C-alpha cells in the first residue's frame, strides 16, 4: 500500500515537476518513510526535496524532520545541526522556536 502511494507520488513529480504540489509529494514520501522508521531513506527523501525545491515553504519542515530522523537514529550531533539550520536559515518560521527546544533537548 505505501509503496504504491510512493510510486504514484514520484510519478506525479516526474510528470509535473513545476506543480506547486510536487514539493508536497516529496515531503509526503519522506514522512511515510519516517513513519515506517526507515529513517535513512526519509533523510534522503527530505534532502531531495530541499535540493529540488529550495524555495519551497516546506524546506524548514524538511530540515526539522531530518533532525528528528537523525535523533531517532541516535546521531544527536547531526540532529542538532539540522535543528540549527531551521533556526539560522528560517528564524521567523513557526518551527524555529520548536527547533530551539529540540536543540536544548538534545543537549
41-52 pLDDT tens trace: 999 999 999 999
Average pLDDT over residues 70-94: 97
Q: Report the chain's mean pLDDT, rounded to a whole number.
A: 96
**C-alpha cell belonging to residue 89:** 536559515
pLDDT of residue 95: 96
State the Cα–Cα distance between residues 26 and 77, nearest whole angstrom.
25
pLDDT of residue 106: 87
The confidence band for 1, taking pLDDT boundaries of 50, 70 and 90, is: confident
Average pLDDT over residues 10-34: 96
Work out whether the CA dihedral 20, 22, 28, 30 comes out positive or negative: negative
**C-alpha cell belonging to residue 42:** 526519509
pLDDT of residue 30: 97
All structural domains of the chain:
2-106 (1.25.40.10)
Is 85's pLDDT higher than 90?
A: yes
pLDDT of residue 76: 96
Amino acid at each position: 500500500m505505501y509503496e504504491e502511494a510512493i510510486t504514484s507520488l514520484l510519478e506525479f513529480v516526474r510528470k509535473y515537476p513545476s506543480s506547486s504540489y510536487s514539493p508536497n509529494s516529496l515531503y509526503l514520501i519522506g514522512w511515510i518513510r519516517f513513519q515506517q522508521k526507515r529513517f535513512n531513506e526519509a533523510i534522503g527523501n527530505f534532502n531531495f526535496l530541499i535540493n529540488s525545491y529550495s524555495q519551497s515553504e516546506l524546506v524548514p519542515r524538511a530540515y526539522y524532520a531530518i533532525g528528528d530522523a537523525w535523533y531517532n537514529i541516535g546521531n544527536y550531533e547531526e540532529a542538532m545541526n539540522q535543528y540549527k539550520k531551521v533556526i539560522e536559515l528560517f528564524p521567523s518560521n513557526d518551527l524555529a522556536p520548536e527547533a530551539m527546544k529540540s536543540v536544548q533537548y538534545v543537549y
